[in-house]
Amino acid sequence: MPSTRKPPRRLNMAGIALWPSWIIVAVAYIGTMVWTVGISFTNSKLLPVANYAGFSQYKRLFGTPRWLQSIDNMFVFGILFILICLVLGFLMAVALDQKIRAENVFRTIYLYPYSLSFIVTGVIWQWMMNPALGIQKAVNDLGWTSFEFDWVVDPDKAIYAVVLAAVWQSAGLVMALMLAGLRGVDPDLWKAIRVDGVPTWRAYISIIIPILSPMIVTSVVLLGISVVKSYDLVVALTNGGPGTATDVPAKFIMDFLFLRSNIGLASAGATVMLVAVVAAVAPWVYAVYMRPKTTG
């Protein structure tokens, strides 16, 4: 007669080993986010307090011209940064995919700026775009005295200086992702394209780019994270100036958190950014991980 006793459950050692990591994530990430959201509904100044103040910090936040300008700057910076990186990275990947000589050398040159932090990138471009030290002075000394490249001190062009530095730093990453995708295209597909007489530009637009859509989505997500984390680049390059011409939400939050001693307002800004990021990422997470798969 066969035994009906169930075998004893084995301890999942891998799961037990991950528990410390889950606890750290819950406390250090989720816990601090919940705490920040809670502080945004208080009148906390230098130190956090527990007196509930409703949405007063949010009303004050969206009544502050500097916050609104930082939001505008983030959108201008983010849209230009992501679009230029995608186009430039794709073109560099297509050029390298032509089996050119010294491909490894060019690939290293294109990807090298990404090994630098945004702080180092900002300092380098701050020197290069300094009218008294950088490119403008060098060209003026060569005889072209009317040449001007003073974006970093021009309030109307300073945000584009930040875009230029960020594109220089990150376009190589997009190139690497796109090149990996291009190398994964079936060679027989290219043979069929040539046999059918499809123009090369039409093949890239209608066939190759749709195949590269996972790489494009990955690039957009990584670049979008860089947009939200653009604090260090802005501080190193312009420190938010001239005036507040290149201010971004991250710098606004850090200034009110550590310099203005207004934890409540800084937490309200951080909560708005959290909600915006969740709203932007949620559709992608649902489409990739949560959408029911159709069968048949």
Q: How large a percentage of the chain has pLDDT more than 70?
A: 94
Tens digit of each residue's pLDDT (9 = 90 or more) over 212-226: 988 898 899 889 888
Cα separations in angstroms, 2 against 5, 6, 8, 211 = 9, 11, 17, 55
> CB 112: neighbour CB atoms within 10 A?
11
**Reported confidence tier of residue 296, pLDDT bands at 50, 70, 90:** very low
Q: What is the pLDDT of residue 243?
A: 86
Q: How large a percentage of the chain has pLDDT more than 90?
A: 40
Q: What is the pLDDT of residue 294?
A: 61
Residue 179 clears pLDDT 50, i.e. is over it: yes
Q: What are phi and psi of 42, to 5 degrees?
A: -125, 175
Residues 6+ apart with CB under 8 A from 155: 242, 243, 245
Q: What is the pLDDT of residue 19?
A: 86
Tens digit of each residue's pLDDT (9 = 90 or more) over 232-247: 899 999 988 888 899 9
Largest CA distance in the chain: 102
Q: Whole-angstrom Cα distance, residue 44 to residue 67?
A: 19
pTM above 0.75, yes or no: yes
Residue 6 clears pLDDT 80, i.e. is over it: no
Tens digit of each residue's pLDDT (9 = 90 or more) over 144-157: 888 888 888 889 99
The position carrying tokens 């020197």 is 127
Closest CA relative to residue 265, chosen from 32, 45, 30: 45
Q: What is the pLDDT of residue 2?
A: 53
Tens digit of each residue's pLDDT (9 = 90 or more) over 11-66: 577 778 888 888 888 888 888 899 999 999 998 888 888 888 889 999 999 999 99
> CB 229: neighbour CB atoms within 10 A?
12
Residue 119 clears pLDDT 70, i.e. is over it: yes
Q: What is the pLDDT of residue 51?
A: 85
Q: Is 42 helix (H, G, I), strand (E, B) or coil?
A: strand
Residues 6+ apart with CB under 8 A from 41: 52, 53, 54, 55, 57
Q: Chain-centre distance of CA 139, in angstroms?
A: 33
Cα separations in angstroms, 81 against 156, 162, 207, 272 = 17, 9, 25, 22
Q: Whole-angstrom Cα distance, residue 162 to residue 168?
A: 10
* pLDDT, the chain, mean: 87
